[in-house]
Chain A
Amino acid sequence: QVQLVQSGAEVKKPGASVKVSCKASADTVTTYSMHWVRQAPGEGLEWMGIISPDGGSTYYSQKFQDRVTLTRDTSTNTLYMELSTLRSEDTAIYYCARDALYCSGHCSFDPWGQGTLVTVSS
């Protein structure tokens, strides 16, 4: 069963950057599109972006377009989400999630990583 294991909690100051990792089992990152979703405290889910399995191309939500970078390391099956110019409103749990099995292009998300809490505070 595929597992997505994320890095630990981070505390950052406003203006800094954070890089969250998501380690997948087997060859997940070269087979499936992967997504990042965040959830502010007590709030709902917000999609941030996607990285494709083939050439590692990316597509971002317009809200994060200028600040987020999704990358991957195929040698370690690890994904990365870097968010720059952090502000207090970026305090949230950040999740990675895989495209579900047996879909193409239009996919629900399954499974999800356990989440990484990023706290932005001076």
Chain B
Amino acid sequence: EILMTQSPATLSVSPGERATLSCRASQNIGSSLAWYQQKPGQAPRLLISGASARATGVPARFSGDGSGTDFTLTISSLQSEDFAVYYCHQYNIWPRTFGQGTKVEI
């Protein structure tokens, strides 16, 4: 099973600041990496797939990068609605696995 490790666990930032979230896979997953945003009481929402492709309707301030084992999600200028938990997800190898999440808070 591929272990997905996210860092940091919590990221404290101010509105307008840049946030960089990291995700590391325990083995090579190519570009089969997605990022999801989850707000309290809601289901996860797909932000990024293929490591860097924004899903439909996702603002351009969200960007993804990386391949192989190391990936990043960058939010260029945090808006109030971006405060949430973010999960990475590998879909290259069975079973599918998720990181433990990064909480972005004020």
Contact = CB atoms under 8 A, between A and B. Distances in A.
Contacts of A108: 34, 46, 49-50, 89, 91
Contacts of A44: 87, 98-101
A46 B44 CA distance: 12
Interface stretch (A69-77, A78-86, A112-120): A112-120
A103 B92 CA distance: 12
Nearest to B97: A47
Contacts of B91: 106-109
Contacts of A110: 46, 49, 55
A45 B35 CA distance: 12
What's the interface size class on B, roughly?
20 to 34
Nearest to B98: A45
Interface residues of A, number: 22
Contacts of B89: 45, 108-109
A37 B97 CA distance: 10
A113 B98 CA distance: 18
Nearest to B45: A112
A41 B55 CA distance: 27
Interface in B65-106: 87, 89, 91-92, 94-101
Given A100-B49, A106-B32, A109-B46, A47 B95 contact: yes
A95 B30 CA distance: 26
B60 interface: no
Nearest to A99: B91
Nearest to B53: A108
B43 A45 contact: no
A62 interface: yes
B95 A62 contact: yes
B8 to A, nearest CB: 15
